[in-house]
A = this chain, B = another copy of it.
Amino acid sequence: MKITILGCYSATPRKDKHTSSQLIEMNGKLFLIDCGEGTQMQLRKAKIKFNRINHIFISHLHGDHFYGLIGLISTFRLTGRTKTLNIYGPKGIKEIITLQLKLANSWTNYPLNFHELTSEISETIYEKESVSVETLPLDHRVYTNGFLFTLRSSCRKINSKAINGLNLKPYHFDQLKKGLSILLEDGTNIKNNELTFDPEKPKRYAYCSDTSYNRDLIPLIKQVDLLYHESTFLEKDIDLAEKTKHSTAIQAAKIAKEAKVKKLILGHYSSRYIDKNIFFNEASTIFKDVDLSEDFKTFLV
C-alpha cells in the first residue's frame, strides 16, 4: 500500500501549496481521496497515469476537498476514457457535478457512478478482492467522512528456509500461496503448513480530515498501520480549532496514542504558520512515531 500526498494544506491553494488530495495504490489499483483545485495538475506532476483511477472518495463538500473533481472528470472525458468512474461522497455531489456537465452540454462518454453517502455510522462502501473501504464518520461543520482502507493478503507466505533445496516449480509456489499441499516431481507429497506461514496481517490506512478532536473515532481506527489525521492548528490556536471544528497537532497525537496506531501523519495545515516543524514538535510530545505530510511525499504501509 503506497500513499502519495498530492496536497496537504487547508482552505485555499497557494503557489506551491496544494489543498487536500491523496493517491492510494494497492494491488496495482489506484484510488483517490479528495480532490482539491489543481489535483489533476498534481497528478501530472507526480507522473501518475491517472486514467487508471476508478474510485474517488470525497470526504466532504468544502471546496479545498473537491473543487478539482469536476475538472478531473472533464479531463477523463477529453482524454477518451471509457471505463466506469465511481465517486463516493456526501449527498449533493451528484447534483453539483451533473449540473455543471449539463450546462456545459458535455456529458461524459464513460459511465459515471455516484455513491452518495448519508450514514452517520461507519459503513463499508467498497469491497473487492483483497481491498475494502469503510467510512469513518467525522465531526466537522458539514457532513464529513474519513476513510479506512484495508488491504488483505489472501496468500500464505512462503517459508524460504523450509523450501531451500526442494527445487520447486512456479506452479508449486502458486499452490503453496493458495494453501494447497504440493506433489514434488519425485512423488513426495508435502503439506502446506510445512512450507508456509499464515498470510500477513491486513494493512490498514485511515484518512481523517476534516474533524474536530473526536474520541468516537478511536475504536474505528484501533491499531491501524498508518493514520493521517488533520492538524489544521497549533496548540496556541486551540480556540480557533474548536470554533471551526478542526484539530490541533496535539489533539491528532492524542487520538493516535489512544487508538494505538503504528504511525501518525499530520496534515491539512493552516497557511498561517510558516514553520511546519512546530506541528511535528507539538505532536511528538504526545506520540512517538509522527511524520509530516508534504506535497508529493509518499508513505509505504
What is the CA–CA distance of A63 and B38 in the complex, to the nearest angstrom?
Answer: 13
Answer whether residue A100 sits at the interface, using C-beta atoms and an 8 A cutoff.
Answer: yes
Q: Determine if A188 is an interface residue (Cβ-Cβ < 8 Å).
A: no
Given B67, B79, B100, which contacts A71 in the complex, CB threshold below 8 Å? Answer: B67
A41 within 8 A of B: yes
| Residues of chain A in range 62-76 having any CB-CB distance to chain B below 8 Å | 62-63, 67-68, 70-71, 74-75
- Interface residue from B13, B63, B71, B75 paired with A106 (Cβ < 8 Å): B63
Q: A40-B37, A41-B15, A96-B100 are in contact. Are A63 and B67 (CB under 8 A)?
A: no
In the complex, what distance in Å separates the CA atom of A62 from the CA atom of B101?
9
Cα of A135 to Cα of B14 in the assembled complex, Å: 32
Contact of A128 with B by CB under 8 A? no
Residues on the B chain within 8 Å of A99, using CB:
95-96, 99
A12-B74 in contact (CB<8A)? yes
Chain B contacts for A92, CB-based, 8 A: 103
Which parts of A188-247 form the interface with B (CB within 8 Å)?
none
Given contacts A92-B103, A95-B99, contact A40 B61 (CB under 8 A): no
Q: Is the beta-carbon distance between B13 and A41 smaller than 8 angstroms? A: yes
Query: Which residues on B sit within 8 Å (CB–CB) of A104?
Result: 61-63, 142
A96 to B37: give the CA distance in the assembly, Å.
16
A63 B100 Cβ-Cβ under 8 A: yes
Expressed in whole angstroms, the Cα–Cα distance for A78 and B223 within the complex equals 36
Q: Within 8 Å of chain B (Cβ to Cβ): is A52?
A: no
Does A161 lie at the interface of the complex (its beta carbon under 8 Å from any beta carbon of B)? no
Is A167 on the interface with B (CB-CB < 8 A)? no
Q: Does A44 contact B (CB under 8 A)?
A: yes
Closest B-chain residue to A79, C-beta based? B12
Assess the A15–B38 pair: CB atoms within 8 A.
no
Q: Is A26 an interface residue (CB 8 A)?
A: no
Please list the 9 inter-chain residue pairs (A to B) with the smallest Cβ-Cβ separation, ordered nearest first.
A92-B103, A12-B75, A37-B71, A63-B74, A61-B103, A67-B71, A38-B38, A15-B44, A61-B104
- Seen from chain A, the residues whose Cβ lies within 8 Å of a Cβ on chain B are 11-15, 37-38, 40-41, 44-45, 61-63, 67-68, 70-71, 74-75, 78-79, 90, 92, 95-96, 99-100, 103-106, 141-142
The 8 listed contacts between A and B (C-beta, < 8 Å) are A12-B79, A15-B44, A62-B104, A63-B104, A90-B103, A92-B103, A95-B99, A99-B99
